[in-house]
Amino acid sequence: MKTLKDVISLKFKTSESEGVIFHGEGQQGDYITLELKKAKLVLNLNLGSNQLGSIFGHTSVTTGSLLDDHHWHSIIIERHGRNINLTLDRHMQHFRTNGEFDYLDLDYEITFGGMPFSGKPSSNSKKNFKGCMESINYNGNNITDLAKRKKLEPSNVGNLSFYCVEPHTVPVFFNATSYLEVPGRPSQDLFSVSFLFRTWNPNGLLLFSNFADDLGNVEIDINEGKVSVHINVTQVKKNRIDISSAV
């Protein structure tokens, strides 16, 4: 397809912070990729570059944050030549692509939920999307309905279900005064804990536990936006270990 105008819309929800939502590319070097990176939405678009390097068409725009919250988010991409409107959850961002070309020339297939391995370094480093999509519309074509009725030819569908699987995890909300206390295991020599968390607060206590027989304690907290682990051991010479995250 060689198009001057494009309208692409869909809704998605996921618990993953990385994943390709859709991708298309052409023999002339044109491409369009919409993906999640660090739970932000990234649109990469190139309407064409020349081999001499005087015309560089690659354009990248990032919008949104915390999009891996397993809530539905809506996307609309409207393109007329080099003019782009990118709308995420009713927040529209307008920009113009780099370069001098107006047409998007896609010779190969368009893929949703991932991208095929093309041998290019960029293709094998990107994760497929893991989550749910609905209302996928590409230039007036209802892709969701066509895929469900098996009217897309040719198509390559793998491990695709036409229902949304809900996660088995149960979140817990803590306010400034609440906490959750669970019984320890004094007979165990190994202390192991893992959890996911999300907060807007730069400081706070995540976990605290005393060791058995007054041997010390362990504390995990957030300090100025960084996660720190503090281990206090009473019966050794170096009785405190502090580990802090880089970001």
Q: pLDDT per residue over 55-105, tens digit each? A: 678 899 999 998 998 899 999 999 999 999 999 999 999 999 988 889 898
pLDDT over threshold 70, residue 124? no
CB 93 within 8 A of CB 85: yes
Residue with more model confidence, 50 or 98? 98
The two tokens of residue 14 are 């996921």
**Lowest-confidence range among 90-94, 117-121, 181-185?**
117-121
The overall average pLDDT reported for the chain is: 86
More confident residue, 186 or 161: 161
- In the numeric block, the tokens 């390709």 are attached to 20
| For the chain, percent of residues with pLDDT exceeding 90 | 42
The two three-digit tokens of residue 82, written as one number: 């080099």
Domains of the chain: 2-156 (2.60.120.200), 169-246 (no CATH)
**Model pLDDT, residue 121:** 44
Angle at the Cα of 126 from the Cα atoms of 93 and 164, rounded to 5 degrees: 75
109 within 8 A of 40, measured Cβ to Cβ:
no
Q: How many residues does the chain have?
A: 247
| Rounded-to-integer distance, Cα 200 and Cα 174, Å | 12
Assess whether pLDDT exceeds 60 at residue 120. Answer: no
Q: Which of 169, 9, 25 is nearest to 78 (CA)?
A: 9
pLDDT band at 222 (very low <50, low <70, confident <90, very high): very high
Helices (H), 117-218: 143-148
Confidence (pTM): 0.70
d(CA 231, CA 234): 10
Q: Is the pLDDT of residue 164 over 70?
A: yes
Please give the helix or strand (H or E) that residue 12 lies within, else none.
strand 5-13
